[in-house]
Amino acid sequence: MTSVSDWLALGTAQLGMLYGIGNISGQPGPNIVSDIIASVWNRGVRFFDTAQKYGTSEAVLGRSFAELSLSRNARVVTKLSMSPEQYGTESILRSVETSLERLNVPSLWGIMLHQEEELDLWTPSIGQALENVKRAELVSRIGVSVYSPKRALQAIEIDGLDMIQVPANVFDRRMKRAGVFERAQKRKKDVFVRSVYLQGLALMPCDSVPIEIPHAQRAVREFRQFCARYQMDCRQFAIDYVRRMAPNARLVVGAETAAQATENCESYQRLPIDQKISDAWTKRWPQDIEAVTDPRRWPAAARNN
């Protein structure tokens, strides 16, 4: 059995706002949020991924941490929401302190720049401002969330950044092909992988996939047929496939209910799937179609489905 304590993180976007193409329950209420957090915590999860832009996510997390007496031990990574002209020590400190207050935690495991375009603004003074926040012992690590392999590789080479967050899933192997995970390991950078289910798309029934997303119905149909052929659970295979791509990364996986959260933990803890089956999927779906893999490209009608 594989431990989830260091390698699985709860994604919390859907706890603070309506999020995810596969979301059928809407934003969960406070009691459900606490049930979700208690469920993953009792199974060993200690990492929580959030952002200042995720609606009320930080606040609902903080409420549950306090209610469940988890505040001192929760390892939280949040993403800053700031304009470029605000990247000074004082403004970053205020932004971090605001998150700490909402989250009810004494310090953050990490903070990230939320948009990859912010890498274009990186200067030694910004790096120093972020380093000052670390020295104040309010945060341990600094990073950035990116979409593209080019930006991921760029971030890895910046000495002031300790970690990156990237997307990867059964339909998206761009980071693996670009050598991002291997380069991050060589540079000793922490890696978080999000979009493991691609906002739930990989687990949706074929007839529920929005027709507005080009190729998505075919992708999901191929995936479900593949899993049925090998008598595998789609959720478990989706997690295992990403774990093989990025064996030294932490996987960020969200949940709408405590039952889903439990399933995610159990799927992670199951024995690895045979490498030959993973290779068979790569052969069956060899392309990475960005119209499918990048939610920013999805039409509004599909995103709001």
Query: Could you read off the pLDDT tens digit of each residue along the chain, which spans 305 residues?
Result: 456 778 999 999 999 987 767 666 678 899 999 999 999 999 999 999 999 999 999 999 999 999 999 999 999 999 998 766 677 778 889 999 999 999 999 999 999 999 999 999 888 888 888 899 999 999 999 999 999 999 999 999 999 999 999 999 999 999 999 999 999 999 999 999 999 999 999 999 999 998 888 899 999 999 999 999 999 999 999 999 999 999 999 999 999 999 999 999 999 999 899 999 999 999 999 999 999 999 988 887 565 44
Q: Does the residue 2 lie in any domain? A: no
The predicted pLDDT at position 304 comes to 47
Predicted model pTM: 0.94
- Give the Cα-Cα-Cα angle 106, 110, 114 (nearest 5 degrees): 125
Q: Please indicate, yes or no, if residue 159 is contained in any of the structural domains.
A: yes
Q: Which two tokens stand for residue 234?
A: 């789609």
* Assigned domain for 58 exists: yes
| Structural domain count of the chain | 1
- Asked if residue 191 lies in contact with residue 182, where contact means CB atoms within 8 angstroms, the answer is no
Does the residue 140 lie in any domain? yes
Question: CA-based Rg of the chain, rounded to a whole angstrom?
Answer: 19
For residue 51, what are its two tokens? 């952002």
CATH code for position 238: 3.20.20.100
Residue 65 forms part of a structural domain: yes
Find the domain containing 81 and state its range.
8-303
> Which among 213, 283, 268 is positioned nearest to 238, based on CA atoms?
268
Q: Flag whether 18 is in a domain.
A: yes
User: Which two tokens mark 23?
Assistant: 């979301």
The structure tokens listed for 117 are: 């375009």
Sign of CA dihedral 92, 249, 240, 292: positive
Q: Please tell me the predicted confidence (pLDDT) of residue 182.
A: 98
Quick check: is 71 in a domain? yes
Return the closest-CA partner of residue 249 out of 189, 198, 169, 162: 189
